[in-house]
């Protein structure tokens, strides 16, 4: 998860809403022209504002230019993102979603596992064996592959650059940082929380004891926004929290108690942060409506600026996927079968 290139408005006012074909959202990709591509459990929906432009099976990966990659029956399909028309098929059996390199080729894992790069026409460029399990990330045209206890880096031509061992098991998804390095969640005897791997492979622990996970988002000035450790509220109930941490010193810049678990975090180019907290759909369907169990107030988005809380928008229903910032500064919130656009 990275900071959006678009500033976030953060007014908390609903501008539009549109039904989605599935309840749960796996990802939202936003193009500079305002189109967004929402991946649900039933496929991808291409939207321009509340207008549905086209739909297709599988997930979606936005590429530079006018192309989009979706999963098809015979492999990955290349589509014109404005019309949805299929322009080519990448016939392969990947174990991970393809990720674009700056030269226009795609990188993905195949059984073995083998890290492979191919052109958009499916022609192989290079391949490298990597230990299992493996989780790849392309960032600043470097390919990072996390294993259970090490991270490997390859250049765009598949040459091995370095191997780093972060003194603990990798405990979540890597996150790209503005300087070209990556943030790695780890769990180990010496350090539990996060380490930073710089572009040369040097390991620097973030000097703070944090719960490792996959929801960290980098902010300007070397700060990170991420879920914190749960803490007791005024009546002794355990509550989730969110923290903003200085990655260099480990100092906690902000710390806020929430009513429910963090489901998504988004940050705009202007430094404004949105944190979605909500019970899961399973918890909602099991408990909401029982005597004393009104969970509607637990579904909300908290807006944070550099001075602290700026406002809260109450969703009233479960938030069922990640947040995204639209090209016009709206916050896109998946809400159990709908996509909401907040100005």
- 126-185 pLDDT, tens digit per residue, is 999 999 999 999 999 999 999 999 999 999 999 999 999 998 899 989 999 999 999 999
Q: Please state, rounded to an integer, the average pLDDT across all residues of the chain.
A: 92
- Nearest Cα residue to 324 out of 261, 267, 278: 267
Q: Which two tokens stand for residue 187?
A: 């769990």
With 70 as the cut, is the pLDDT of residue 23 above it? yes
Whether residue 113 has a cis bond before it, omega within 30° of 0: yes
- Listing DSSP states for 208-248 in one string gives S-----S--EEEGGGEEEEEEEEEE-TTS-EEEEEEEEETT
Three-state SS at 287: helix
- By percentage, how much of the chain surpasses pLDDT 90? 76
* Structure confidence at residue 195 (pLDDT): 96
**pLDDT 10s digits, 266-292:** 999 999 999 999 999 999 999 998 988
Strand partners, 106: 100, 118
8-state DSSP, 330: P
* pTM (two decimals): 0.93
At 113, the pLDDT band (50, 70, 90 cuts) reads: very high
Burial tier of 196 (Cβ tally within 10 Å: 0-12, 13-18, 19+): buried
Distance (Å, rounded) from C-alpha 172 to C-alpha 194? 10
The verdict on whether omega for the bond into residue 118 sits within 30 degrees of 0, i.e. cis, is no
Return the pLDDT at 313: 97
Residue 34 clears pLDDT 80, i.e. is over it:
yes
Question: Residues 6 or more apart from 278 whose CB is under 8 A from it?
Answer: 260, 261, 263, 298, 299, 300, 315, 318, 319, 320
**Cα–Cα distances in angstroms (integers) from residue 143 to residues 93, 96, 167, 340, in the given order:** 19, 13, 21, 34
Architecture of domain 14-342: 7 Propeller (2.130)
Question: What is the domain partition of the chain in residue ranges?
Answer: 14-342
């Amino acid at each position: 998860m990275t900071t959006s290139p678009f500033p976030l408005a953060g007014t908390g006012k609903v501008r539009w809403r549109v039904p989605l074909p599935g309840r749960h959202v796996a990802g939202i990709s936003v193009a500079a022209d305002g189109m967004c591509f929402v991946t649900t459990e039933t496929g991808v929906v291409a939207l321009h504002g509340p207008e549905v432009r086209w739909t297709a099976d599988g997930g979606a990966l936005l590429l530079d230019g006018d192309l989009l990659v979706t999963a098809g029956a015979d492999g990955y399909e290349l589509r014109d993102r404005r019309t949805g028309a299929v322009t080519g098929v990448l016939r392969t059996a990947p174990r991970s979603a393809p990720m674009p390199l700056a030269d226009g080729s795609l990188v993905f894992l195949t059984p073995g596992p083998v890290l492979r790069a191919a052109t958009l026409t499916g022609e192989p460029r290079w391949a490298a064996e990597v230990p299992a399990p493996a989780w790849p990330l392309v960032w600043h045209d470097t390919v990072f592959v996390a294993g259970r206890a090490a991270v490997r880096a390859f250049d765009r031509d598949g040459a091995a650059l370095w191997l780093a061992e972060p003194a603990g098991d990798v405990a979540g998804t890597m996150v790209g940082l503005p300087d070209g390095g990556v943030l790695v969640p780890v769990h180990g005897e010496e350090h539990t929380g996060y380490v930073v791997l710089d572009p040369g492979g040097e390991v620097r622990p973030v000097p703070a004891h944090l719960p490792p996970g996959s929801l960290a988002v980098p902010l300007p000035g070397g700060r990170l926004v991420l879920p914190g450790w749960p803490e007791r509220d005024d009546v002794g109930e355990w509550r989730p929290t969110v923290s903003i941490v200085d990655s260099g010193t480990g100092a906690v810049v902000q710390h806020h108690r929430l009513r429910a678990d963090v489901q998504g975090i988004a940050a705009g180019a202007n430094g404004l942060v949105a944190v979605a907290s909500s019970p899961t759909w399973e918890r909602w369907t099991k408990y909401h409506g029982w005597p004393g169990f009104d969970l509607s107030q637990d579904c909300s988005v908290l807006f944070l600026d550099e001075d602290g809380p700026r406002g809260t928008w109450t969703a009233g229903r479960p938030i069922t996927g990640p947040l995204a910032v639209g090209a016009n500064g709206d916050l896109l919130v998946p809400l159990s079968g709908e996509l909401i656009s907040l100005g």
